[in-house]
């Protein structure tokens, strides 16, 4: 019935020709998986690049065209919001750097093509963050309702403040003052990243290509969540392939070393190459080999299972277990044990209540469609 595997979904990205003999049902399933992973527009761009788009059945093309329009809109929206934010916050003095998706788009980078955004991520210095938050609240950005535990998590331990949502437009902005959570003990100097920022022709601050790539891979491999793992892997692959020169690779390796994220760089190169055939130059590969961890077999197990397209139709056999292990590993990396136990205890209390009383037991008011 489900005649499509995660492996096949990846192969279609790497070489769209693999879809030549797809049945209609396989196409429908591919669309379903890609929509779930927010990758329809990304694949659409790939199909167009390789002149394969015309060979997709018309009824299926429609889904990709819908996604293209959505992605174009998101791009415009992000540019609009970024211009507003840059203007509104210019009096705050501190740095204002657009990270992740918004950064890709504002940098007009290949990796920004066909992206769907859930939020806009901003990096500012810790001293400015209070002023930034106050100013934004004045301008109609509101924080969503949080449990007191979540509020405490953000304020005390995290590297960002609770997300702010624009009252009218619904855009969500995450403001960070560091790249990784404070509590992780990996006290990297955010200035190491901030020094790496560049101004785009349109006047937006974004990270340089090496810093952008490093941040992208830290976000994937120094994290407890891999729900969008495959998409993140494609991002890293695209960043690497569209900047494939010596200056980029040396800069990336140097920055990874300075900030202590060599392991994450090693893993990113390993799985990008394994799944997407990313061509990493020999000198870079040799330099990165120094970061090879002792427990590579364990990491291979969890990441080969979770970095593939993730949908019930095509989930690998050990996906659930691997995802749980990523969760554990991510939490251990980010929090000292005593805080981790407290955090998980609170979170699992919520989960148990939801299991008993249904998912929406804590949902405050029933919204109706």
Q: Which residues are at the interface with another protein (CB under 8 A)?
A: 1, 24-25, 28-29, 32, 35-36, 59, 62-63, 65-66, 69-70, 73, 311-312, 354-361, 363, 366-369
Give me the least distance between CB of 76 and another protein, in Å please: 9
Phi and psi at residue 120, to the nearest 5°: -110, 130
DSSP-assigned beta bridge partners for residue 160: 176
Give me the least distance between CB of 99 and another protein, in Å please: 26
Nearer to another protein, 18 or 28 (CB): 28
Nearer to another protein, 46 or 74 (CB): 74
Helices 262-276 and 6-14, packing angle to 10 deg = 90
Nearer to another protein, 296 or 355 (CB): 355
Phi and psi at residue 111, to the nearest 5°: -70, -15
DSSP 219-277: HHHSSS--TTHHHHHHHHHHHHHHT-SHHHHHHHHHHHHHHT-HHHHHHHHHHHHHHH-
Nearer to another protein, 22 or 261 (CB): 22
Instruction: Report whether 136 contacts 173 (CB < 8 A).
Output: yes
Give me the least distance between CB of 45 and another protein, in Å please: 16
Give me the least distance between CB of 109 and another protein, in Å please: 24
Instruction: Report whether 206 contacts 198 (CB < 8 A).
Output: yes
Nearer to another protein, 66 or 304 (CB): 66
- Rg of the chain's alpha carbons, rounded to an integer? 21
Give me the least distance between CB of 80 and another protein, in Å please: 12
Nearer to another protein, 128 or 171 (CB): 171
Give me the least distance between CB of 281 and another protein, in Å please: 39
347 φ/ψ sector (left φ>0, alpha ψ -120 to 50, else beta) = alpha
Nearer to another protein, 115 or 311 (CB): 311
Instruction: Report whether 10 contacts 275 (CB < 8 A).
Output: yes
Give me the least distance between CB of 353 and another protein, in Å please: 9
Site of tokens 């791009």: 75
Residue from 265, 172, 162, 288 nearest 215 by CA: 265
């Amino acid at each position: 019935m489900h005649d499509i595997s995660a492996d096949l979904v990846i192969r279609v990205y790497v070489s769209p020709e693999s879809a030549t003999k797809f049945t209609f049902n396989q196409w429908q399933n591919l669309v379903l998986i890609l929509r779930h992973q927010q990758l329809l527009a990304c694949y659409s761009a790939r199909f167009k690049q390789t002149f394969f788009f015309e060979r997709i059945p018309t009824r299926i093309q429609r889904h990709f065209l819908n996604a293209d329009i959505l992605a174009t809109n998101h791009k415009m929206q992000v540019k609009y919001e970024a211009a507003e934010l840059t203007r509104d916050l210019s009096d705050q003095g501190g740095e204002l750097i657009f990270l992740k998706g918004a950064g890709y788009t504002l940098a007009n980078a290949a990796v920004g093509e066909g992206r769907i955004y859930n939020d806009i991520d901003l990096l500012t210095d810790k001293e400015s963050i209070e002023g930034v938050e106050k100013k934004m609240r004045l301008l109609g950005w509101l924080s969503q309702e949080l449990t007191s535990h979540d509020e405490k998590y953000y304020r005390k331990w995290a590297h960002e403040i609770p997300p702010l949502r624009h009252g009218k437009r619904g855009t969500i902005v995450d403001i960070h003052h560091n790249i990784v959570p404070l509590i992780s003990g990996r006290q990297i100097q955010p200035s190491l990243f901030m020094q790496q920022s560049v101004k785009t022709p349109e006047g937006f601050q974004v990270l340089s290509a090496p810093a952008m790539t490093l941040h992208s891979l830290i976000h994937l491999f120094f994290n407890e969540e891999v729900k969008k793992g495959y998409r993140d892997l494609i991002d890293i692959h695209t960043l690497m392939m569209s900047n494939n020169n010596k200056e980029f690779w040396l800069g990336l390796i140097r920055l990874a070393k300075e900030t202590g994220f060599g392991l994450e760089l090693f893993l990113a190169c390993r799985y990008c190459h394994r799944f997407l055939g990313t061509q990493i130059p020999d000198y870079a590969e040799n330099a990165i080999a120094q970061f090879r961890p002792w427990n590579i077999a364990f990491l291979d197990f969890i990441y080969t299972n979770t970095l593939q397209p993730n949908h019930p139709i095509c989930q690998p056999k050990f996906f659930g277990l691997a995802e749980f292990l990523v969760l554990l590993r991510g939490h251990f990396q980010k929090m000292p044990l005593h805080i981790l136990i407290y955090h998980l205890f609170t979170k699992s209390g919520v989960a148990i209540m939801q299991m008993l009383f249904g998912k929406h037991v804590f949902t405050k008011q029933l919204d109706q469609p």
